[in-house]
Structure 1
Amino acid sequence: MNGETPHVRLLPRTDAHDRSCLLLTEGDGPASRLADRMESMQTSLAGRLLGRTRDLLVAGGMSSDDLGLLAGQLADALADVLVVAESRRRRLPGAADHVPAFVLSGLRAYSLRTFPGQDLASARAARRHVRDTVQQWGLSPEAVDDLELITGELVANALEHTDSRTITVTCGLTAEAAAVGVTDEGENGVAVVPEVPRGEQENGRGLLITDALAARWGSLRTGEGLTVWAEMAVDVGSPGARGGSYEAVRERL
C-alpha cells in the first residue's frame, strides 16, 4: 500500500456461484490493470456482436433457433457492458461522495465475512462476528453494542426482503469512525433500495434503529444487489493501538 486513497472496484466478472467480485484497491495495481484489459475486451466483443446482429437482421432469413441463440448472446454481452459501466461510474469524480467513509480513506482495520442467505440464524451469527471484531479494535462498550445491534437489523432485513444465497458483512475502522456494511444479492436479481418507514408501517423498523444509532447511513448498489452501511464516530487512540493492519483484499460477494 502506498498511502493513497483506497476504493472498492466492481470487477468485470463473477465467481463460480455467479456472485459479484469486488477489489479493494488504490487504483493502479496488477489486478486493476488486468480488470482494465478485461473490460476493454468485453466492450470490444459486445461491439462486434452488435455489428454482426445488425448485419444478420438486414440480411433476414434467420430461423427461430438462430434468433434465440442471438438473443442469448446479446443478453450476455449487455450484462457484461452494464457491469463495466457501473464499475466506471463509481470511479468518476464525485461518485465517492456516496461511498461510506471506511471504504474511502484512513483505514486502520478491515474485516469481511459471508453468511448463508437462506438461514435466519445468519443474523445472530453476524452480530456475534461484528461484536468480536470491533471489540478487538478497542471501541467503547456502547459503540460495540450499537454496531452489533445495527448489524443484526440490517442482516435481518436482507434475509427477509431478498432471496440472496449469501449475505456479506464488512467492518471498517478509521481514526474517527467505525462502520459496518451488509451486502445482499437483491430480490429476484434487482437491488431494492430501503427507506425509513413512516407512520404506522410495520416493515423496515430495523432502519429506524439504524437511523437512530448511526451518525450517518446509506446504501450503495453492488452489481444486482445492495450494500446498506452505517457509520458512527469513535475514538480509538493512537494508530495501531488495537486495530489490525489494513491490507488489500478481494471481496467475493
Structure 2
Amino acid sequence: MLPSYDAPSLGFRGGVLTGRLQDAFHFPALNASVAEARQRVRARLREWGMDDVACDDAQLVVSELVTNAVRHTDSDKVSCQLRLSGAALRIEVADQGLAPTEPRARCSAADEESGRGLLLVGALSRAWGVLPGDSGRGRVVWAELPCQEPPAH
C-alpha cells in the first residue's frame, strides 16, 4: 500500500515519524465508505506487521466510529488517523458536522438494530473519548487499543 497523501489536514501523510507508524486518510461521508475504511485499516495494519486479533479489533472500532460520523453528522467527508506507538494503536475519526448530542455509549433494547457501537468500542479499547475538531467545527472521536508491538521496520 502506498503512503497516504490524501489527508494533509491531519498533519501527516503516512509512514514513520519519530519512531511511530502513522497513516491518515479521508473518505466521503457515505455509507459505502465504512467498508472502504475497514479495508484500508486492515491493509495498513497488516503492512505494519500487526496480528489478526489487532487487525480485527481495529477494523471493528473504525467501522463503528466511521458509521457514527456518517449517520449522525452533516459532514461531507470523514477523516481517519492511525498511530501505532509501542503497544498501543490510537484511532481517530474526525467529522466536519454538527450533531445534536455528543457521542456516548448507551444500552439498546434487545429488538433494536443499532445503538451498541460505542459499547463495542469501549469493550475493545483501553480508553476512548471525544475532542473538538481542529477547525472549531465537528469533532474527533478517538480510541486507544492495546496490541502487541509489531516487529521493527
- Bigger CA radius of gyration: 1
Q: Does 1:172 align with 2:89?
A: no
String of CA shifts for 1:102-121, please: whole Å, max 9, x gaps. xxxx651110000001x210
Note the 1:1-253 alignment, pairs <5 A. Answer: 21=9, 23=11, 108-117=20-29, 119-187=30-98, 192-198=101-107, 200=109, 202=112, 203-222=114-133, 223-237=136-150, 241-242=152-153
Q: Is the 8 A contact 1:123 1:155 kept in 2?
A: yes
Q: Secondary structure at the match of 1:126?
A: helix
Give the unaligned 5+ runs of structure 1: 1-20, 25-105, 243-253
Identity across aligned pairs (percent)? 36
**Root-mean-square deviation over aligned CA pairs:** 2.3
What is the TM-score with the length of structure 2 in the denominator? 0.80
What is the TM-score with the length of structure 1 in the denominator? 0.50
Q: Is the 8 A contact 1:219 1:227 kept in 2?
A: yes
- Change beyond 3 A, Cα 1:205–1:237: closer
How many corresponding residue pairs?
Answer: 137
Q: Is the 8 A contact 2:131 2:140 kept in 1?
A: yes
User: More helix by proportion, 1 or 2?
Assistant: 1
Q: Is the 8 A contact 1:167 1:182 kept in 2?
A: yes
After superposing on structure 2, the runs of 4+ consecutive aligned residues of structure 1 that deviate more than 4 Å are 21-24
Q: Secondary structure at the match of 2:71?
A: helix
Residue 4 of structure 2: aligned partner:
none
Q: In structure 2, how many angstroms separate the alpha carbons of the residues matched to 1:216 and 1:173?
A: 15
Q: Is the 8 A contact 2:10 2:24 kept in 1?
A: no
Q: Secondary structure at the match of 2:149?
A: coil
Q: Secondary structure at the match of 1:164?
A: coil
Q: In structure 1, how many angstroms separate the alpha carbons of the residues matched to 2:108 and 2:117?
A: 14
Residue 99 of structure 1: aligned partner:
none
Q: Secondary structure at the match of 1:156?
A: helix
- Change beyond 3 A, Cα 1:153–1:199: closer
- Change beyond 3 A, Cα 1:169–1:185: same
